């Protein structure tokens, strides 16, 4: 009887663990002059940013609290079309796009190479290069 109870508890623990949210399977990492971007992507179909941290112009924009004074953003829309990636993040009230990332990629028998632009409303635009990891 004790083994049956332990087996039942183990089954409940396994069921609870499988109900946890999926972890990121890959992430997009970008850099430029004084720019650092980290965007973990979900493993589901499509381009699914799980979170984002953007450091530019001496400031931080983030979907999660990463530092005091960081400006909060939320994923607004994202798409992957042909060899282009589009990622937009807005203010938490979804009133306007704050962070806009536009990337193009190319590959030739190796990992893709990504390059494009980062635009932050009211702060500027920069050239960036990215990788997946």
The label of the residue with tokens 């994202």 reads 78
pLDDT tens readout for residues 65-74: 877 789 999 9
The mean per-residue pLDDT over the stretch 111-129 comes to 94
pLDDT tens readout for residues 8-45: 333 333 333 333 344 446 899 999 999 999 999 887 66
Q: What is the pLDDT of residue 8?
A: 39
Q: What is the pLDDT of residue 48?
A: 84
For the sheet with 59-62, list strands across it.
71-72, 59-62, 53-56, 35-41, 26-32, 124-132, 113-120, 97-106, 84-90, 74-81
């Amino acid at each position: 009887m004790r083994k049956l109870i332990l087996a039942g508890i183990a089954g409940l623990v396994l069921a609870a663990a499988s109900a946890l949210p999926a972890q990121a399977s890959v992430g997009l990492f970008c850099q430029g002059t004084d720019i650092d971007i980290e965007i973990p992507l979900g493993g589901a179909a499509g381009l699914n940013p799980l979170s984002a941290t953007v450091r530019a112009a001496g400031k931080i924009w983030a979907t999660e609290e990463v530092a005091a004074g960081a400006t909060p953003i939320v994923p607004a829309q994202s798409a992957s079309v042909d060899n282009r990636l589009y990622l937009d993040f807005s203010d938490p009230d979804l009133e306007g796009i704050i962070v806009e990332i536009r990337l193009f990629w190319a590959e030739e028998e190796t990992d893709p190479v990504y390059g494009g632009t980062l635009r932050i409303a009211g702060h500027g635009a920069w050239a960036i290069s990215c990788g997946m990891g």
